[in-house]
Amino acid sequence: MDVVNCLSCNEFIDRFANIVEHTPKVAEILEKRRPFQNLDEFYHTLEDVLKNDNHVDREEILRKHPDLAGKLSLQGLLTQESKKEQLSAGLSNITEEERSLLTVLNNQYRMKFGFTFIVCARENKLNSILTGLQNRLKNNKNDEVLIGMREVKKIAKLRTMDIIHSLSC
């Protein structure tokens, strides 16, 4: 954690800018809350920012995530983090039929809720993603904001772990 605390303001924000997809504001807020005593305090602060900070628009965060195996993936336009996460879920090797079903469900979800279906891809594979998507389509919007943000927190924690492990003294 010493290395994280010793990063300059700009280095910190650059490194952590995408722990929440396309939301560098989270890194900016975290940077102002340094120093962190340990990784648990960092995670606790991250969760607090995502849950309570008035400068963080939760629905906007949910809209900024890409569809799983969607057009950005097909066009090679995912962020490095999203690409790695979708690869780990096996979404780069799905059939056209599976991609079509996922696209239909993603579109239904976005039409109903106004934001992207979020699930921590690194903790799932295609079948669990499809089942989760079908089940979550039955929820109301308030529940989906809460569930989606829980998934964002999981993703952000894993991305943070990757960044911290990549830092050298």
pLDDT confidence band for 168 (50 / 70 / 90): low
Q: Residue 151 class from Cβ within 10 Å (0-12 exposed, 13-18 middle, 19+ buried)? A: buried
Summarised one tens digit per residue, pLDDT across range 9-39 is 999 999 999 999 999 999 999 999 999 999 9
- At 88-97, the pLDDT tens digits run 888 888 999 9
Catalytic residue among 22, 44, 65, 165: 65
65 is annotated as an active-site residue:
yes
* Among the listed residues 20, 22, 23, 45, the one whose alpha carbon sits nearest the alpha carbon of residue 32: 45
**Over 60: is that where the pLDDT of 169 sits?**
no
pLDDT value of position 159: 95
**Which residue in 146, 162, 1, 137 sits closest to 80, CA to CA?**
162
Thinking of the domain 67-151, which architecture would CATH place it in?
Answer: Orthogonal Bundle (1.10)
Percent helix, percent strand, percent coil in the chain, to nearest 5: 70, 0, 30
Find tokens 């079903």 and name the residue. Answer: 101
Q: What is the pTM of this model?
A: 0.92
At 36-93, the pLDDT tens digits run 999 999 999 999 999 998 888 999 999 999 888 787 666 676 688 888 888 888 888 8
